[in-house]
Structure 1
Amino acid sequence: MLKRLFPRWRMGLGWPGQCLLCRQWCQGRCCPDCTRRLEGDDRPRCITCGLLLPEGLAGEDDLDAWGPPSASPHFHCGRCLQKPPPLLRCVVALDYAFPWDQCLQALKFRARLEMAPLLAQSLEAALSRAQAPRLALPAATLVLPIPLSAQRLRERGFNQSLEITRHLPGRRQYRVCARTLVRTRHTQRQSELPLAERLANLRRAFAVTRPLDGQHVAIVDDVMTSGATLFEAAAALHRAGAATVQAWVVARTP
C-alpha cells in the first residue's frame, strides 16, 4: 500500500523522482521527453476500428479540409468497408508496443494505479486530435468503461478501464457511469483465444441496465485487439436505444 501511495505523496511535496516510463529523474510522473511521446502521433487509422493504415491514402486537399490524418472521414480499412462495425468512431491513442504495453500490463496485472493518469493523458490528446473542424462527431453525453465480470473484478480488485476514465481531464463535459453497461457472465480471457473464437466468446456477454434513448455514448477500453469486446458492447448499447456509440481506446494492436 505504501509503495502505491508513495509516488502521489512524493509529487505532493515537489520532490524529484523517477519517470514512470524511462526512469530518468524528473519532477512529476513523467519526464518531458516521455510526456511528448505520450501525446501520440497523427498516423492514419481506420475511423471505425482504429487499425493503422498505410501512409498516403489521402491527398493534401483531404488533409487540409479535415485536419490531421487521424481525423479524416475518408479512412476505412477493408474489413470495415465490407462489414461496418456498430461504432460511429474509434479513437486510438497509442500502438500496443513498448513501452506502452508494459505500462498497461503494469496497471492491469500489477495494480500500478499510478499508470492510469498517464494513459488517460495520452487518450485525451488523441481525443483532441480527433476533433477536426469539419468532422461531425457528436459530443458524448455518457461515458462507460468496459466492465469486468464479477469474478474478474474480485480477482483484480479494480477495473483498469474505469481507472483510466476517472483521470480523463474533460470528464466534466459528460457523465461517467460504471453501472450502466455490465457483464452478464464470466468469459475466457480474449488474449487466450484465436481470432475466430473471440466473437463467439463474447456473444451476449453485455447488458445495459437502463434505457439509453437518444444518448451519445462513448465506451472506454485499455487495449483493443480484434475489436470483439467493443463491438459486442456497442451492439448491446444500440439495442438499449443509444443514438450513437463511439470507442475511446488507449492502445491498439498492430
Structure 2
Amino acid sequence: MLYQRIKQTLFSSVPRLCALCGLPLASGEYDWCGTCLSYFQPTPRCTRCGLQMPFSTPQCGRCLKSPPLWNHLYCLGDYAYPLTQMIHQIKYGRQFWHIDSLAALLAKSIPSPAPLLLPVPMHWQRYLHRGFNQSTLLTHSLSRHLGVACQTRLLQRIRSTPPQEGLHKTERENNLMQAFTLRSLPPVRHVAIVDDVVTTGSTVSQLCQLLLEVGVEYIDIYCLCRTPEYHNQ
C-alpha cells in the first residue's frame, strides 16, 4: 500500500517515461509506450516446457515423450532483446524499478496463479557478494500483482556452486546435485517457483524434485525469460 502511494506521488510530480526507450508516455500509457510494449506480445509456446513453437500447444512432442517435473511454465518471452538488456540492468546495474514493471506484465499471462510463490534461492556467499536475490525481488512483485502469498525462505541453497552460465545441460545438472534443501514443508499442494531466466530447466527441476518428494502435487514455473532450445545444446 505504501509502495503504491509513493509510486503515485512520484508519477504525479515527474514526467512519466517509457521503461525501455525513455521517451515520454502518452495519456493512458503505463510503464511502456505503445511501440515498446509490442516487444512483449505473447508468442506461441508449449504450455508445459515454455519453449516457443509454431503454434500454441498444451504439450509439445518432447514433453509428451519426456515431460518436465513441473506442470506449466509462464514467461514474458525468449532470452533476447529487450529482456536480456533489462535483466542485465537489474542484476548488474541495480535498476530494480524494472522488476515491478516486468512482474505486472508477467502476471497478466498467468490465468490461474498458484496460491504460493517460491523464489529460486541464492547461496549466502553469493548473496553477500551481490547484495540481493533478483528472484526474491521478482517473487515479491508477482505476489502483489497476483494477489497470492509468497515464502522466500522455504527453499534454501546449501551448497555454493560455480555459475551455470556456459555449462551444457548435463554439466548444469551435475553442478546442482544436492545443492538445495527445504527449511519447512509447503502448506499447500500447488506452488510456483519464480526465477528470472530458465535455460535448461536444471535448477527448477532440482527444486521440483524436492517439492514433489514432500507431497506437492502441482508445480508452475514463473520466469521472465525462457532460453530458446538452440542455446541449450
SS in 1 for 2:196: strand
Distance in 2 separating the partners of 1:149 and 1:156: 11
2:64 is aligned, of 81, 84, 97, to 81
Q: Which residue does 2:149 correspond to in 1? A: 175
1:148 and 2:122 matched: yes
2:76 to 55, 74, 93: 93
CA contact (8 A) 1:120 1:164 kept: yes
Unaligned runs of 5+ in 1: 1-6, 56-68, 132-138
Are residues 51 and 163 of structure 1, via their aligned partners in 2, closer, same or farther at CA, if it must alter by over 3 Å?
A: same
- Alignment correspondent of 1:48: 48
The alignment status of 1:221 with 2:195, answered yes or no, reads yes
TM-aligned CA deviation for residue 218 of structure 1: 0.5
**Structure 1 moving runs of 4+ over 4 Å:** 7-10
> 1:203 corresponds to which letter in structure 2?
M
Q: TM-score, normalised by structure 2?
A: 0.84
Aligned amino acid, residue 53 of structure 2: L
Q: Residues 10 and 192 from structure 1, CA distance in 2 versus in 1: closer, same or farther, beyond 3 angstroms?
A: farther
Q: CA deviation at 1:155?
A: 1.3
> 1 CA distance for matches of 2:39 and 2:110?
15
Aligned to 1:60: none
Q: How many angstroms does 1:205 deviate by? A: 1.3
Letter in 1 for 2:60: H
The alpha-carbon deviation at position 245 of structure 1 amounts to: 1.2
What is the Cα deviation at residue 105 of structure 1? 1.0
Matching residue's letter, 2:47: I
Contact kept in structure 2, 1:213 and 1:241, CA below 8 Å: no
Q: Pick one of 115, 134, 140 that aligns with 1:166.
A: 140
> Which residue is equivalent to 2:225?
251
State the shift of 1:159 in Å.
1.0
Task: Give the superposed CA RMSD.
Answer: 2.3
Question: 1:124 aligns to what?
Answer: 107
Distance 1:126 1:51 in 2: 15
- Offset, 1:23: 1.9
Residue 232 of structure 1 aligns to a residue whose secondary structure is helix
What percentage of aligned pairs have identical amino acids? Answer: 32
Q: CA deviation at 1:89?
A: 1.2
Measured in 2, the distance between the counterparts of 1:113 and 1:181 equals 23
The aligned residue for residue 91 of structure 2 is: 108
- Residue 54 of structure 1 aligns to a residue in which SS? coil
Structure 1 residues 161, 32: closer, same or farther in 2, change over 3 A? same
What are the Cα deviations for residues 45-89 of structure 1, in whole angstroms up to 9, with x where unaligned? 22222111223xxxxxxxxxxxxx3xx42x3242x2222211011
TM-aligned CA deviation for residue 10 of structure 1: 7.9
Q: Is structure 2 residue 205 aligned with structure 1 residue 203?
A: no
Q: How far is the alpha carbon of 1:17 from its aligned partner?
A: 4.3
C-alpha displacement at 1:207, in angstroms?
A: 0.9
Shift of 1:214: 4.9
1:18-37 CA-partner distances (Å, limit 9, x unpaired): 32211212376432332454
Q: Any idea what SS the aligned residue of 1:229 has? A: helix
1:127-158 CA distance string (max 9 Å, x none): 14xx5xxxxxxx52211011111111111111
Q: Pick from 207, 214, 233: which aligns with 1:233?
A: 207
